[in-house]
Structure 1
């Protein structure tokens, strides 16, 4: 594995997971800052490379991980794919659904795996929730609510920089949106949306969206990055409800709980801890090994819906973020 960039998520989460995965060896880490590349490379026992293009010239790199700011994902993901290497890229894969479609088509045409690093979908708790719904535990599904909000970031954080693809929608809005796709399928459409900007910010810092399936199920999404922390979703059915807290970024040792309510009866279903970072890395390695892309169309639909939410908010409230 070659890593293009030394972002915080790479150093804190992904590089340790790569190092622990028996199917992956970290070959090199690249940075535009030679000192940073050396520091990270020494920590993980790999080679330091100065510059992203230089990493793609290395003969021993078989796959590439791209943890750069969102605005740079498309350029370096495409560059890696054109050298014949599968790619794991941070979310969002691009800031433009057309570019997302182009990259997915490029990867498919070359028989390469292109995987967007949305990790929570690989946690076994969400599959357990799917089974409960499929088995009729809450009757017929009627509505889905999800929220992901985080406290304010440092003023210098790249997520406040519009030139680097910042903003609450692309950063934290992805989580409740992807959860809606995970449970309701790719035929969701945007009914309406609102994005708002915090004081002295150049990007939206909060938002909400209402989506719907072609049938009767609605999805209400809330997201923000200047809020009290919230990471949860609920599924409401004709006969009961399911609640999941700490839904999107649980630590590896967290005991996941599913709250199930049916009539006057409530129970908490506790599962074994599960490391979603390790599970994501293993899924990528398995996909590369077998040549079977793990994506089910959700990556492209997610990109399209992010764009639809942004355009819907701009149409309905043109001055809300301007």
Structure 2
């Protein structure tokens, strides 16, 4: 008999009809075999109905109604930052796997509690850092494993964006606004990926907006147990920058446009080894689709993704704890 090539389908419910869901995440979901959109919910019923019509999915009357549905295996949380932990917990307690926009939690204690709950219930909890699932990361990991850079000595990383318009939720402290939680988590996550989860904060600085009550930009210096360091910068009052660099004892590599890579963009890894310089072009891909493929495989319990899921979970917990420490250690400059 021929092998059974059918793939079970992960039925996903959307909580929160945010802009990123409409533009990138849901269109990507619809292109991925083994995953489908089963229902949507929003605080505004009219917005939920519009999303449902656009993506051919029924609209639930409330978040609670969606979580109570028995035809949903998993939920995708696209809510304001300070609601992530609360609704991730509700979804896990309802027996749903969870893909949640970054950051999962604003505190280390919340992240540890949520991953412990997911483990106790045998559920997948994944924080949505798309760049970690792009082919760029696989290529960089292969270069590091090959010893191309020697011993890693330093990581530098930055994610900065131009000022946000008035009324943007990134400027609202009640919704978890601020540059650290919005874009600072990206270079922080890069540092964790390349230097490990044992990082400590040696120093930090935050520029606080008197007008909005959130941090507009900042920087942090992190140290690894072996003495390697990471310098990260973030902000939303800058020229756009999305970049990291890894410097080793024998070489250096860097990548631009790395955190929000457009699906048609072929990233270039710039690698210096001794006096030699070369460029490695990575094939273009949609990292939103890559996240959905990984998440659906994890929900199905595929063994091939288990090591990656364990690493991602450990990084998410460490990241949330470092956010606490950065805030505590920061020199704050009111502007």
Contact 2:253 2:270 in 1 (8 A): yes
> Could you say what the CA RMSD is over the residues aligned between the two structures, in angstroms?
1.4
Q: Secondary structure at the match of 1:47?
A: coil
Q: Secondary structure at the match of 2:36?
A: coil
| Residue matched to 1:294 | 309
Deviation at 1:59, TM superposition (A): 2.3
Correspondence 1:189-208 to 2 at 5 A: 189-198=200-209, 200-208=211-219
Unaligned runs of 5+ in 1: none
In the alignment, structure 1 residue 309 sits paired with structure 2 residue 326 = yes
Deviation at 1:238, TM superposition (A): 1.9
Of 157, 160, 172, which residue of structure 1 is paired with 2:171? Answer: 160
Task: State the alpha-carbon separation in 2 of the partners of residues 251 and 30 from structure 1.
Answer: 27
Task: State the alpha-carbon separation in 1 of the partners of residues 111 and 251 from structure 2.
Answer: 37
Superimposed CA distance per residue, residues 194-224 of structure 1 (whole angstroms, 9 cap, x where no aligned partner): 0112462310010100001111210000000
Unaligned runs of 5+ in 2: 1-11
Superimposed CA distance per residue, residues 227-286 of structure 1 (whole angstroms, 9 cap, x where no aligned partner): 100000011122221011111111111111100112332111112112111101111000
Of 34, 37, 60, which residue of structure 2 is paired with 1:23? Answer: 34
Task: State the alpha-carbon separation in 1 of the partners of residues 65 and 310 from structure 2.
Answer: 29
Deviation at 1:139, TM superposition (A): 2.5
Task: State the alpha-carbon separation in 1 of the partners of residues 102 and 140 from structure 2.
Answer: 23
Contact 2:135 2:283 in 1 (8 A): no
Task: State the alpha-carbon separation in 2 of the partners of residues 25 and 97 from structure 1.
Answer: 32
How many residues end up aligned between the 2 structures? 318
| Residue matched to 2:48 | 37
Deviation at 1:152, TM superposition (A): 0.8
TM-score normalised by structure 2 residue count: 0.92
Contact 1:178 1:302 in 2 (8 A): yes
Superimposed CA distance per residue, residues 155-181 of structure 1 (whole angstroms, 9 cap, x where no aligned partner): 111111111111110110000000011
Task: State the alpha-carbon separation in 2 of the partners of residues 207 and 134 from structure 1.
Answer: 32
Correspondence 1:168-179 to 2 at 5 A: 168-179=179-190
Deviation at 1:321, TM superposition (A): 4.5
| Residue matched to 2:226 | 215
Task: State the alpha-carbon separation in 1 of the partners of residues 328 and 122 from structure 2.
Answer: 33
In the alignment, structure 1 residue 238 sits paired with structure 2 residue 249 = yes
Deviation at 1:187, TM superposition (A): 1.1
Task: State the alpha-carbon separation in 1 of the partners of residues 90 and 64 from structure 2.
Answer: 8
Task: State the alpha-carbon separation in 1 of the partners of residues 190 and 149 from structure 2.
Answer: 18
Task: State the alpha-carbon separation in 1 of the partners of residues 72 and 246 from structure 2.
Answer: 43
Q: Secondary structure at the match of 1:250?
A: coil
Find runs of 4+ consecutive structure 1 residues off by over 6 angstroms. Answer: none
| Residue matched to 1:145 | 156
Bigger shift: 288-297 or 18-27? 288-297
